Amino acid sequence: MRRAAIRTGLVSIAAVSIIIADGRAHAQIIQQAVGGVAISTEGVLTVVKTDLLRDVANMRRKALAQLPGDLNQPTKLRSISLSRLQGVIAACQKDHRPLPDEVRYLAGLQRVEYVFLDPQHHDLVLAGPAEGWVVNEQGEVVGAKNGRAVLRLEDLLVALRSADQARNGGISCSIDPTAEGIQRLRAYFTQKGTIGDPDRTKGDIESALGPQTISVGGVPGSSHFALVMVAADHQMKRLAMNFEPSPVKDLPSYLSMLSPSKSIQTPRWWLAANYEPLLKDEDGLAWQLRGTGVKCLTEEDHFNQSGGREHTGKANPLAQKWADKMTEKFDELSAKDTIFGSLRNCMDLAVVASLIMQEHLADKADCRLDLLMDANRLPVEEYQVPKQVSTQASFVKKGRNYIISASGGVLFQPWAVIRDSKVDSTTAAARGKVVDTAKATTWWWN
């Protein structure tokens, strides 16, 4: 969520989005809910109410099949063969069978830590921590024991197919007020001159700003990948703006950190990739992803008379403090709030896809990924494209001032992550263990 702000006297006026339920049918919400939000047929972002989330969770639990014992076993390293995964999917298509849960949820992988080449078997192998899965109270598929988000086949397919598109502009989402809305808000406060009654002013501000525009770049806006980014953006804003309490300790809202003695700034925050340099073996047959995956960045913005955003390139120290705290707590937060773990999973998959393309790993392993790359033969589920979200003002009284504030955004460059790598012998050892234990009859193994 990008921040929109106007100053008038001692009050900072800014655009904030809220998710408002629109009473859609249960069936569509159950199908399309991601991270506690859903998109209406008109493209409006809405929050799924608690009772509907309960229905979502119950329906998805009933749809899950019983897992084999080996899949339920938590492991630090589970491997999946991309070539054999294709074979399983092709067999399901040939027999007109739906994809089994273990395929849809990539055998319970919770992160991609390694990418291994297996030229002998014409294969690429993804490996990382995994366990069995359940549906949590928000209707999301998570680890049965640790509650962390599980990777999804549809996100892998989108990442692979979007890798070239992401090379130049990266992958992003943004929620922005319109220039017309900013101009209307300026006119409103020029005429009003003071906040007055907060409840009445709150409604006036929301009406003046009107709907905000949602944009997605680098991946199809109709994809689950895109909705994960938008939902994570929305949830970060809710934490920063004190719309709901943080699920982890020592992560206060930004508004609670503000002091009456400090001038009110207009920061925005966005989530970006946060990886250490990749490790690889001397032959380029083993690659390791490292780092928490996601960090929070901030910059001070202001809006010109026409309502357009102008970047300053500078950060408000207090906003930077909140961003640093968000980054510090991200791994813990991703274990408590599934949408942040899902965002990191999508970033992992985007980095893996970029690595495969940049280093020509499929060609080096003589591994054909034709089916995974073919959107016609293997289409992914399409969701409603997010287009707009209503505005909500969040008031926090500090001394004699009322503050209305906002936050947001997701922007990362997966191709930039893979430019920085170094040779490390431990990756070759890890590859040897995985490739040596691979069985020709299975597409995943511990």
290-309 in b/e form (b: 16+ CB < 10 A) is eeebbbbbbbbbebeeebeb
Grade residue 308 by pLDDT with cuts at 50, 70 and 90. Answer: low
43 contacts: CB under 8 Å, gap ≥ 6: 214, 384, 385, 386, 387, 388
How confident is the model over 272-286, as pLDDT tens digits?
999 999 999 999 999
Instruction: Answer with the residue of higher pLDDT: 395 or 357.
Output: 357
188, two tokens:
């409103």
Q: State the average pLDDT over residues 148-167.
A: 96
- The pairs formed by 354-360 with CB atoms below 8 angstroms and a separation of 24 or more are 354/163, 354/166, 354/167, 354/414, 354/415, 354/417, 354/418, 355/115, 355/278, 355/287, 355/418, 356/115, 356/124, 356/160, 356/163, 357/163, 357/164, 357/167, 358/415, 358/418, 359/284, 359/287, 359/418
Q: State the average pLDDT over residues 405-425.
A: 86
Grade residue 306 by pLDDT with cuts at 50, 70 and 90. Answer: low
Task: Say what the pLDDT of residue 228 is.
Answer: 96
Residue that the structure tokens 């990266």 belong to: 170
Task: Say what the pLDDT of residue 8 is.
Answer: 26
Task: Say what the pLDDT of residue 380 is.
Answer: 96
221, two tokens:
């806006």
Q: State the average pLDDT over residues 293-304.
A: 77
Assess contact for 192 and 203: CB atoms under 8 A.
Answer: no
Instruction: Answer with the residue of higher pLDDT: 179 or 349.
Output: 349
Q: Beta-carbon neighbour count of residue 5 at 10 Å? A: 25
Q: State the average pLDDT over residues 110-126.
A: 96
Enumerate the domain spans of the chain.
Answer: 4-64+153-419
Of 156-165, 173-182, 322-331, 344-353, the one with minimum mean pLDDT is: 173-182
Residue 215 β-bridge partners: 174
Asked whether the predicted pLDDT for residue 404 surpasses 80, the reply is: no
How confident is the model over 5-25, as pLDDT tens digits?
332 222 222 222 222 233 344
Instruction: Return the DSSP state at 17.
Output: B
**Alpha-carbon dihedral 425, 428, 430, 435, rounded to 10 degrees:** -170
**203: helix, strand or coil:** helix
Asked whether the predicted pLDDT for residue 389 surpasses 90, the reply is: no
Asked whether the predicted pLDDT for residue 397 surpasses 50, the reply is: yes
Asked whether the predicted pLDDT for residue 226 surpasses 80, the reply is: yes
360 contacts: CB under 8 Å, gap ≥ 6: none
Q: State the average pLDDT over residues 249-274.
A: 78
How confident is the model over 167-211, as pLDDT tens digits?
988 999 988 888 888 888 778 877 876 666 767 777 887 888 888
Task: Say what the pLDDT of residue 402 is.
Answer: 57
Grade residue 302 by pLDDT with cuts at 50, 70 and 90. Answer: low
278, two tokens:
């990749």
Instruction: Answer with the residue of higher pLDDT: 158 or 193.
Output: 158
- Provide the residue count of the chain: 446
Task: Say what the pLDDT of residue 248 is.
Answer: 95
Q: State the average pLDDT over residues 138-154.
A: 94
CA–CA distances in Å: residue 322 to residues 18, 75, 193, 302, 313: 21, 34, 31, 19, 17
Of 90-99, 130-139, 189-198, the one with minimum mean pLDDT is: 189-198
